Amino acid sequence: MNCNPIPEREDWFITDRKPTICPRCGKKEVRKAVLGYPTEEDFLNGNIYLVGCIPDFPVERTWGCRNCDAAFFKDNKFNRGRLDMVAHRDKEGRLRLGYPDEITPESITPSEIPF
């Protein structure tokens, strides 16, 4: 399993599959993350991690640690596409939050919408 921390957030990780043990707290409390308003049954279910109604990122976490609130994002082609311009890979191939050094928000020009 490849579970890489995101340096800008000590409690966020990019991983290729669900971790058995949380690398942050060392407990076996990593569960599937569920986004949205929970039902009473979901609230009492110990097999899921409740995210709440507001996602953390353009991609909501895939799994979460019920003990320390660490977030785990699935490292796949779909998520990398959605993280474009918010997360990028540095020269060593590690995933980083924010814009790459050569691109700043000011340098991005919106494309024209033809009407």
| Tens of pLDDT, residues 43-91 | 889 899 988 887 766 677 889 999 999 989 887 766 655 554 456 667 7
* Kind and range of the H or E run holding 35: strand 30-35
CA-CA distance, 50 to 86, in Å (whole number)?
A: 24
* pLDDT tens by residue, 17-40: 899 999 999 999 999 998 888 888
Which DSSP letter does residue 68 get? T
